[in-house]
Amino acid sequence: MTEPPLDPQETLGLSREQLPRHIAIIMDGNGRWAKKRDWPRIRGHEQGAKIVRTIVTHCARLHLETLTLYSFSTENWKRPPEEIEFLMGLYAQYLIAERDTVMDNNVRLIHIGRREGLPDNVLNEMDITVELSRKNTGLKLCLALNYGSRDEIVDTVRDLARDVQDGKLDPNDINEQLITNSLYTAGLPDPDLLIRTASEFRVSNFLLWQISYAELHICDKLWPEFSPEDLNIAIKEFASRDRRYGAVQTPTT
């Protein structure tokens, strides 16, 4: 079901120009949420998936440009095999179950991360949803799945090195913009706001190049407790900050 759009002035007391173009979220705390209730960790992941739907829908209704969710890092392969198996099954189910939500809200799904290592059923369902939503013009939802920022930078350097080796690229032409345009996130704005839940103060190998000037917001709540109201608080805090990008504010007379 299509949700009606939200007016940022009514919802947040902000103009559209004050909203971040790109929000990135490190969704932390699923396991701790389940442990607090003496439940298996998988219950936390199930609840976390429900929150993803809520937050994606809220961002789409606000007409935000891009939302990137850190779903499964390359380091997460170190988790117990049974938990990884459950998570991969959950991803496949989510990609199927949320197609109506994606299409009803004009969301375009984009995958960032390495495909190698992901199960065939996850890749298949992801490819179907990506292709189905390709022409959608609303929120761009980037699912960081099997993602690591250092891996992304390594892959980018390798691609540029091959172009140099093949004579397609002059090393002197390699600059900041070319690297930006060669990352998994090519064509997307850099995150303006990075949110991490569960009171953790780390960026955990997430979008290291792209978050150079992102504003950070640490939320005490565990991800399964995160709500649209919590997102609104983060956006309003973002809008209140003075973003100078290294410059000095010139006093007005």
Answer yes or no: is 54 within a domain.
yes
Question: Would you say residue 165 has pLDDT above 60?
Answer: yes
Tell me, yes or no, if 76 is annotated catalytic: yes
Answer yes or no: is 4 within a domain.
no
Answer yes or no: is 87 within a domain.
yes
pTM for the complete prediction?
0.94
Answer yes or no: is 47 within a domain.
yes
What average pLDDT score do residues 151-169 get? 98
Looking at the 3D structure of the chain, how many domains does it have? Answer: 1
pLDDT tens-digit readout, 103-113:
999 999 999 99
Question: What CATH number should be reported for the domain holding residue 89?
Answer: 3.40.1180.10
Answer yes or no: is 249 within a domain.
no
Contact 142, 68 (CB under 8 A): yes
Which amino acid is it at 60?
A: A
pLDDT at 120: 97
pLDDT tens-digit readout, 22-58:
999 999 999 999 999 999 999 999 999 999 999 999 9
Catalytic residue among 7, 30, 76, 220: 76
Compute the 3-state secondary structure of the chain and give helix, strand, coil in percent, each to the nearest 5.
45, 15, 40
Answer yes or no: is 109 within a domain.
yes
DSSP SS3 for 252: coil
- For β-strands 140-147 and 193-196, DSSP reports them as unpaired
Pairwise CA distance, residues 163 & 240, whole Å: 43
Answer yes or no: is 1 within a domain.
no
Catalytic residue among 7, 28, 121, 151: 28
65: domain range? 16-149+190-238
Answer yes or no: is 202 within a domain.
yes
